[in-house]
Structure 1
Amino acid sequence: MPTDPRQRRAARHAQPAADTAAPAPRKQPITVERITDAAMQVVATEGYDALTIRRVAAVLGTGPSSLYAHIVNKDDIDDLLMGRLYAEVVLPEPDPAVWREQLLGVYIQIRDLYLQYPGISRAALAMVSTNLETLRVGEGILSILLAGGIDPKTAGWARDALSLYVSAYALEQSLVSQRRRSQDQEWVLSHDELLDRFTALPADKFPQTKRHAAQLISGTGPDRFEFALGLLMSNLSSASS
């Protein structure tokens, strides 16, 4: 290397620009938001069954140990997922005149959000979420029930029952869709195939099923969803009545 500063500068200037190493791009830091984004991506593209800490880490281009600086375990990711979904739920101002309609509207929103992410409603089962967005929606549902004159204990139990049904409904829909995509699940029948099976049953053993086959399998999924919630809500009576 030249000892004269001018010669050293000239030598630097003489090097081709292509030889100058570009600075390595800075990696984005791991955050709770990015972990949640990655988890939502996994569920949306691969289904809830594929969701593991290792899979989320792979989406983020890091190792599982990097995630443990921000989350406790897989259950913690479930809590984050529910919070992300429930942040999209719009709550009405409770109105005693239309509280049942309002309640149905909130649960339809939750159902539709669940169905966007196959199997994600499993994250809501057997877990009491303390995420603030989840609590916000729970508070809104409770407020609607109380505005309808339902006593607090009944309102709390009804909220649990309604929420459980919505989670189970969405999970069943996801499982049916998954099985229909699998070639070895031929026992998942279409509406017409099921009708043919029921009407072909021996009348001496299955008289009611055979006679009322069309009624038994009638209605769409959303029709049956609203029927079930309506059935539950119709049994709720005002504390003053």
Structure 2
Amino acid sequence: MSPTPQERRTARHQLGTGPAAPKPAVRRGPSGGSKKPITVDAIVSTAFGIVAAEGYEALTMRRLATALETGPASLYAHVVNKEDLDELLIGRLCAEIDLPAPDPARWRQQLIDVCVRLRDEYLRYPGISRAAFAAAPSNPDTLRLAEGMLGILLAGGVEPQTAAWGMDSLMLYINAYCLELSLVSRRLGDGHVGWVVGRDELMRRIDALPATFPNTKRYAAELTSGTSHDRFDFTVRLMIDGLA
């Protein structure tokens, strides 16, 4: 008997031990021979295509099945549910990140580089960082990234408990940062220009505030300075320096 999706998911979490992946599903019907077989890899790749073109909110199992020219039941032969798919998506992005050998002399910059690379991977697919929220790193590829970040922190002399919680905090910030940028982009795409204003407009709004906002008015330039990535770099460095 072929292993169930649940058994294959458990096997992935055990770093590849256990039941093997199923053979590609055979397509039936007049156009069956011209369609790509349904595999976990095909499901994940197609899901990424949907997110890249339409945003993470558009990714549902039904939408994915339509893109693969099949029914949702065919997908559930390979993935357990949407949460399982989310794990696979985040895992593949984590797999793209090269992890350096921990260097006690360069640990801060090494950790910053990993954070920036993860941020850039998420930003390729609008809103996909939502898939990482409330998910424990149990996928082998996400575990590999967590292991690498933990190793860098420990090499820098960070106390183990601080390193563990610090890594979690960095991940949470990266997820939230990328989600916020995707929401801004979606609002602009939906034509809600009034909700997303540039720096000049924001400065004008601050200047028009009454005198009951003295600090906001006085430091408007500081409050509105820098790009989003400038603020990302500042926050990540601040967090890492705090861990030391």
More off after superposition, 183-192 vs 102-111: 183-192
Cα distance in 2 for residues equivalent to 1:181 and 1:28: 32
After TM superposition, the score normalised by the length of structure 2 is 0.85
Residue 207 of structure 1, aligned match among 214, 217, 233: 214
Corresponding residue for 1:14? none
Aligned residue runs from structure 1 range 22-37, under 5 A? 25=33, 27-37=35-45
1:224 aligns with 2:231: yes
Runs of 4+ in structure 1 off by over 6 angstroms are: none
Residue 93 of structure 2, aligned match among 85, 94, 99: 85
After TM superposition, the score normalised by the length of structure 1 is 0.86
TM superposition shift of 1:131: 1.5
Aligned residue runs from structure 1 range 87-236, under 5 A? 87-203=95-211, 205-236=212-243
TM superposition shift of 1:187: 2.3
Q: Unpaired segments of 5 or more residues in structure 1?
A: 1-21
1:76 aligns with 2:84: yes
1:81 aligned partner, one-letter code: L
Deviations 1:207-226, CA, capped at 9 Å, x for gaps:
11011101111011111001
Identity of aligned pairs, percent? 56
TM superposition shift of 1:26: 5.0
Cα distance in 1 for residues equivalent to 2:185 and 2:229: 15
Cα distance in 1 for residues equivalent to 2:31 and 2:231: 59
Deviations 1:100-127, CA, capped at 9 Å, x for gaps:
1000000000000111100000001111
In the alignment of these two chains, the number of paired residues is 215
TM superposition shift of 1:27: 3.8
Give the secondary-structure state (helix, strand or coil) at the position aligned to 1:25. Answer: helix
1:134 aligned partner, one-letter code: T
2:56 aligned partner, one-letter code: Y
